[in-house]
C-alpha cells in the first residue's frame, strides 16, 4: 500500500493509476492526513479487505487464495458420542473424596 500527497498525485497521476491497475491500493494524503483511497474497481471494503489490504493484493497477483466467508451452515452439528453427564461422572471419579 502506497501513500502519496495531493501534489505528487497530481503531477504523476498516470503512474499511480498504473499501480492501482496492477492491484495496489494508493492512500492519498493532504498535509499528512489520509483523505482518499485509490483502489481497483470491484474491491469490496466490507469484505474485510479494509482490515487486510495486503492479502487482497497478494490474491490479485495469484500468490494466495482468499478463504470464503464463514458460514455456520458449512459446519453440520455432530451427533453426541457420550450420554449426557458422562464428563461430570468421570471428573467425580478422578477427584475421588477430595
pLDDT of residue 46: 46
Q: Is 96 within a domain?
A: no
Q: Is 75 within a domain?
A: no
Q: Is 93 within a domain?
A: no
Report the alpha-carbon distance of residue 49 to residue 69 in Å, rounded.
12
Report the alpha-carbon distance of residue 19 to residue 15 in Å, rounded.
7
Q: Is 77 within a domain?
A: no
Q: Is 83 within a domain?
A: no
Q: Which domain does 38 fall in, by range?
A: 2-68
φ, ψ (nearest 5 deg) of residue 44: -90, 110
Report the alpha-carbon distance of residue 12 to residue 18 in Å, rounded.
10
pLDDT of residue 96: 85
Q: What is the CATH number of the domain that holds 30?
A: 3.40.1620.10
In angstroms, the Cα distances linking 96 to 87, 88, 90 are: 14, 12, 10
Summarised one tens digit per residue, pLDDT across range 34-89 is 899 999 887 554 455 556 778 877 887 778 888 877 888 888 888 888 898 999 99
Structural domain total, the chain: 1
Amino acid at each position: 500500500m502506497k501513500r502519496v500527497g495531493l501534489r505528487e498525485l497530481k503531477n504523476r497521476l498516470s503512474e499511480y493509476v498504473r499501480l492501482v491497475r496492477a492491484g495496489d491500493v494508493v492512500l492519498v494524503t493532504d498535509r499528512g492526513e489520509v483523505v482518499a483511497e485509490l483502489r481497483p474497481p470491484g474491491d469490496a471494503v466490507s469484505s474485510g479487505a479494509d482490515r487486510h489490504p495486503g492479502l487482497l493484493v497478494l490474491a490479485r497477483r495469484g500468490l494466495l487464495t482468499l478463504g470464503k466467508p464463514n458460514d455456520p451452515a458449512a459446519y453440520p452439528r455432530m451427533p453426541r458420542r457420550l450420554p449426557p453427564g458422562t464428563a461430570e461422572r468421570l471428573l467425580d471419579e478422578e477427584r475421588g473424596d477430595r
